[in-house]
């Protein structure tokens, strides 16, 4: 349909739908609405077809099949990559135009994945309803209703059953709401974690775009560590190796080249080399999309603390079961015999004096008093921790990270971007052995070699969109620093450099080689030039000659080499990263085979400064105060590493470094297993390290019983991040490989945020211990009182409905009050908590047992006691805990309402002001007891060991 016909149809439809032009009957109106609906649908379909006609020679299905089947024949039918680009209205050099993006989404889809529909609130209600405890309570409520009607009649016999039903419903609702909100929170976190920024070439310049904004026809640069964002074909490559294990399961790296295997799959990762790709399929049309469509985040991870709590709950369940068995036996005996005392104190048989509900109530009381509340406390505490960490720039990828952070004993940190700002700038420039302060003193030919070495041997680029605008630099921080220096100081025109040469071979930089090289043929005279750059001491070892600033070449003798080494050490001692440039030219009568790595000429060295982050020294000191050991692992040389470590506070300034505190990765590898295990604790800085060295150190530390945290952001950090007890990916701009193998993502990449995450981790266990102490005290008191009363005189002082009401106040409000308190600086003045340490410490047992002996009814004062496990001043900082104070007010209000206004429902007696005063005074004594008992010493052996042995 032509655009004129579309317009004509739209006008007819609008005319028919215009109410002001004609008066219609009801039937005519219905026909008019039906016509409009059909017309609108047809029009939208036509618009979509018009959009698709923008790419008449290509189809979405063909593009999908091309990559999925790796069909080289089909690729030839499209006339190769150039033909595909032409059909997709893109250019391989400049990419797509921004105004085409929406049309491409319409024609080929967006780079998003369809996730299964999220569960609503009702499924969470059903899950909570299926809980064993809830089912038992409901059965008890039904039985209570039957016995209540039998003993008390229809008028009063339903109170207790109704109370149990109401309390069970409240527990179900609270649990469902909490779990529902938790899943929503996880969904939010995973959306943030999936918002990945990548590079794309659009309108002739490299831009940062979201992974989800990639469209068919985009030209995407690929470098080491990058994730392939969509399915496509390679445009150009240099030593490109792809890790397809996440897609195919094969661990071997795949060699990608334009002739034999040009196909790239979404989700795979660049293991080595670099190149550019043309996007052909996105989103659900990719291989990765079909896999991701059935994957959702798992928010039900069984964390270590939950496992420990389950073990503890099992122990208390045994105690509760023992109590309920004895209680039931005693009640059954009383019911069967009916023996009670008369007014004169004589025993006689009177069946009417025995309540048929006693057996049922004894069972219900045990269920209520021992099993509810603990899971709720854990959920609330972890949810609060995750939200707090997010506010402090730490995004939790795995819930177990919240608690594991509290047990960390060693942090193995990288340097660049974590301890430093990763804002690099060239500050020193040496040609040969001369420090250059004025470039005019350097021979023009030498400067030209520098321009070639920088412009050709780089994975970055320089853009200048309009005349007069500032240059834009892309690439790694080191590449951007060198490019900026070459443009501003040396007058390099990178486009001109690339036009004048044809690249023949490329050796890409990686953490093992620590150098990169390129060979290129100059179009002017067909001469072949080799350029290398990399770590200064490594490039120096490849050179036999060096270039002086006047352009003369001099052989490097032993004395010259020593002077160069001292020069590099001196720059490194001032926290400079030293990058050396080397060059050689292939004789015209020679034959080029590969990049030479020996007999080169050293052009010179540049020193790059990367300032330390503000506050990093204070963060390192805070870790030390918390009993943590900090180890810096970096690829820089020993002198640079020592300088940065001293500046950050990892090494003490002005003190002699002890032997073994600073080593190189190669030295660590040469140690025997016994030597490594003996010396690993004393190591504080590891320089010139490889990914294997970092992994080896983590393994050694774990064998020694340490809980190890590792920070990193590069693909080479992924093995150590995965091996560590907790992997911390630094910065959202880090590689996808690092994020996928991490438990936490520090969004701002700042080491100080790692310290905040440590505080939150310690806060998790501390808050759960507070709740345990508070709840167990109440439950022990309730069980003991009911058991003693049933065993001694029959009957029960606390009915199930009363226990349920108290339990809701204790469990729900107590968990909310104690489980959501924020971390304090005092937490960082204590040593790490071992993962094997008991959840209930001897300090808690001391507090719990003494309070249990005293308390019978009111728990409000004990909630204040539970705020501090060891400190005697339980009111410290309470004016800042608004939530805690609010919950105390709600707790008191509920108790007053239950006693004064729900006497029939809760089976309570109203109190006059005098009795209220007595209750408050007696309850307040709990504060005095809590203050005095904290002076009592506790043994080192966990008391739970004796209980478990007895049970």
Burial of 764 (0-12, 13-18, 19+ CB in 10 A): buried
Q: 331 or 217, which is more confident?
A: 217
**According to the model, what pLDDT value does residue 211 have?**
84
For residue 832, the 8-state DSSP code is: P
Pairing of strands 576-586, 600-609: antiparallel
Tens digits of residue pLDDT in 234-278: 999 888 888 876 666 565 678 898 888 999 998 888 888 889 999
pLDDT confidence of residue 10: 42
Q: Which of 51-65, 291-305, 832-846 has the lowest mean pLDDT?
A: 291-305
Consecutive H or E run containing 413 = strand 410-413
Class of domain 60-114+196-292: mainly beta
Nearest to 859, CA basis, from 907, 923, 946: 923
pLDDT attached to residue 489: 92
CATH 3.40.50.1000 fits 410-421+613-749, yes or no: yes
The pLDDT, as a whole number, for residue 293 is 54
Q: What three-state secondary structure class fits 690? A: coil
Pairing of β 394-396 and β 263-264: unpaired
The DSSP output letter for 835 is: T
pLDDT number for residue 532:
96
pLDDT at 217 over 60: yes
Q: Which two tokens stand for residue 52?
A: 């698709």
Catalytic residues: 414
How many CB atoms neighbour CB 440 within 10 A? Answer: 7
pLDDT at 543: 96
683 three-state secondary structure: coil
Site of tokens 């019978």: 856
pLDDT > 70 in the chain, percent: 64
pLDDT band at 18 (very low <50, low <70, confident <90, very high): very low
Contact 201/95 with Cβ under 8 angstroms?
yes
In this structure, are residues 52 and 45 in contact, taking their beta carbons and an 8 Å threshold? no
Does the pLDDT at position 949 exceed 80? no
Domain extent listing, the chain: 60-114+196-292, 122-195, 360-385+758-823+837-949, 410-421+613-749, 425-449+501-609
Residue 120 or 529, more confident: 529
- The number of beta carbons lying within 10 Å of the beta carbon of residue 314 is 10
425-449+501-609: CATH superfamily: Calcium-transporting ATPase, cytoplasmic domain N (3.40.1110.10)
Positions of E strands within 183-331: 197-202, 205-210, 219-222, 231-243, 254-255, 263-264, 269-281
Residue 337 has pLDDT above 50, yes or no: yes
Q: Does the structure show a pLDDT above 90 at 840?
A: no
- Confidence class for position 391, pLDDT limits 50, 70, 90: confident
């Amino acid at each position: 349909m032509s655009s004129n016909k579309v317009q004509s149809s739209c006008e007819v439809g609008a005319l028919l739908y215009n109410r002001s032009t004609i008066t219609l009957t009801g039937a005519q109106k219905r026909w008019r609405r039906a016509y409009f609906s059909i017309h609108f649908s047809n029009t939208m379909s036509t618009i979509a077809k018009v959009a698709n006609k923008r790419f008449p020679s290509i189809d979405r299905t063909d593009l999908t099949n091309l990559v999925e089947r790796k069909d080289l024949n089909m690729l030839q039918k499209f006339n190769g990559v150039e033909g595909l680009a032409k059909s997709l209205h893109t250019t391989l050099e400049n990419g797509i135009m921004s105004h085409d993006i929406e049309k491409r989404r319409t024609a080929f889809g967006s780079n998003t994945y369809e996730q299964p529909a999220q569960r609503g609130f009702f499924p969470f209600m059903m899950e909570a309803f299926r809980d064993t405890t809830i089912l038992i309570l409901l059965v008890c409520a039904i039985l209570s209703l039957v016995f209540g009607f039998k003993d008390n009649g229809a008028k009063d016999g339903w109170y207790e059953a109704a109370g149990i039903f109401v309390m069970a419903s409240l527990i179900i609702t609270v649990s469902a709401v909490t779990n529902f909100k938790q899943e929503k929170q996880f969904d939010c976190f995973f959306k943030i974690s999936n918002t990945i920024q990548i590079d794309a070439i659009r309108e002739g310049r490299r831009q940062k775009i979201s992974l989800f904004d990639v469209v068919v026809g985009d030209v995407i640069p690929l470098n080491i560590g990058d994730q392939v964002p969509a399915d496509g074909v390679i445009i150009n490559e240099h030593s490109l190796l792809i890790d397809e294990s996440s897609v195919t399961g094969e661990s071997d790296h795949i060699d990608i080249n334009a002739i034999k295997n040009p196909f790239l799959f979404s989700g795979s990762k660049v293991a080595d080399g670099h190149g550019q790709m043309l996007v052909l399929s996105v989103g659900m049309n990719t291989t990765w999309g079909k896999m991701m469509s059935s994957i959702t985040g798992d928010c039900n991870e069984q964390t270590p603390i939950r496992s420990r709590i389950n073990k503890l709950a099992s122990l208390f369940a045994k105690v509760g079961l023992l109590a309920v068995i004895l209680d039931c036996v005693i009640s059954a005996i009383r019911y069967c015999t009916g023996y009670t005392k008369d007014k004169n104190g004589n025993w006689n048989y009177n069946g009417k004096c025995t309540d048929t509900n006693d057996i049922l109530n004894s069972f219900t009381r045990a269920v209520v008093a021992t099993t509810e509340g603990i899971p709720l406390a854990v959920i609330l505490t972890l949810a609060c921790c995750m939200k707090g960490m997010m506010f402090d720039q730490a995004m939790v990828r795995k819930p177990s990270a919240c608690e594991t952070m509290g047990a960390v004993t060693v942090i193995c940190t990288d340097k660049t971007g974590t301890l430093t700002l990763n804002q690099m700038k060239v500050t020193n420039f040496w040609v040969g052995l001369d420090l250059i302060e004025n470039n005019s003193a350097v021979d023009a030919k030498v400067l030209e070699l520098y321009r070639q070495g920088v412009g050709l041997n780089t994975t970055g680029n320089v853009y200048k969109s309009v005349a007069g605008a500032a240059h834009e630099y892309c690439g790694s921080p080191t590449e951007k620093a060198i490019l900026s220096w070459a443009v501003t100081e040396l007058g390099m025109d990178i486009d001109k450099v690339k036009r004048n040469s044809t690249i023949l071979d490329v050796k890409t930089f990686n953490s093992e080689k620590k150098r990169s090289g390129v060979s290129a043929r100059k179009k002017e005279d067909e001469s072949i030039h080799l350029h290398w750059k990399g770590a200064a001491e490594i490039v120096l070892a490849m050179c036999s000659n060096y270039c002086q600033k006047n352009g003369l070449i001099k052989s490097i003798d032993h004395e010259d080499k020593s002077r160069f080494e001292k020069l590099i050490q001196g720059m490194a001692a001032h926290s400079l990263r030293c990058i050396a440039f080397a060059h050689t030219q292939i004789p015209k009568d020679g034959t080029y085979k590969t990049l030479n790595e020996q007999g080169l000429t050293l052009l010179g060295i540049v020193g790059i400064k990367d300032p330390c982050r503000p506050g990093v020294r204070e963060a390192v000191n805070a870790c030390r105060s918390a009993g943590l050991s900090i180890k810096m692992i970096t690829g820089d040389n020993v002198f640079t590493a020592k300088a940065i470590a001293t500046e950050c506070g990892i090494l003490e300034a002005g003190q002699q470094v002890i032997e073994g505190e600073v080593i190189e990765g190669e030295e660590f590898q040469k140690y025997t297993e016994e030597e490594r295990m003996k010396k690993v604790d004393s190591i504080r800085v590891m320089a010139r390290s490889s990914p294997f060295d970092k992994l080896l150190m983590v393994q050694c530390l774990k064998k020694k019983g340490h809980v190890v945290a590792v920070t990193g952001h590069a693909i080479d950090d992924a093995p150590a991040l995965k091996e560590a007890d907790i992997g911390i990916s630094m910065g959202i701009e880090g590689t996808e490989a690092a994020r996928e193998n991490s438990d936490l993502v520090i969004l701002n990449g700042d080491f100080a945020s790692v310290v905040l995450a440590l505080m939150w981790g310690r806060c998790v266990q501390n808050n759960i211990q507070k709740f345990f102490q508070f709840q167990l005290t109440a439950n022990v008191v309730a069980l003991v009182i009911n058991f003693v009363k049933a065993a001694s005189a029959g009957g029960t002082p606390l009915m199930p409905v009363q226990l349920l009401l108290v339990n809701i106040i204790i469990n729900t409000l107590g968990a909310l009050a104690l489980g959501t308190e924020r971390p304090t600086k005092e937490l960082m003045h204590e040593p790490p908590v071992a993962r094997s340490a008991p959840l209930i410490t001897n300090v808690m047992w001391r507090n719990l047992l003494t309070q249990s002996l005293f308390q019978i009814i009111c728990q409000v004062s004990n909630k204040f006691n539970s705020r501090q496990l060891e400190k005697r001043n339980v009111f410290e900082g309470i004016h800042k805990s608004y939530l805690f104070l609010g919950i105390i007010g709600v707790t008191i209000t509920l108790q007053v309402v239950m006693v004064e206004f729900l006497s029939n429902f809760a089976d309570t007696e109203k109190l006059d002001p005098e009795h209220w005063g007595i209750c408050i005074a007696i309850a307040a004594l709990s504060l005095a007891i809590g203050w005095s008992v904290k002076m009592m010493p506790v043994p080192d052996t966990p008391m739970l060991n004796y209980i478990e042995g007895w049970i």
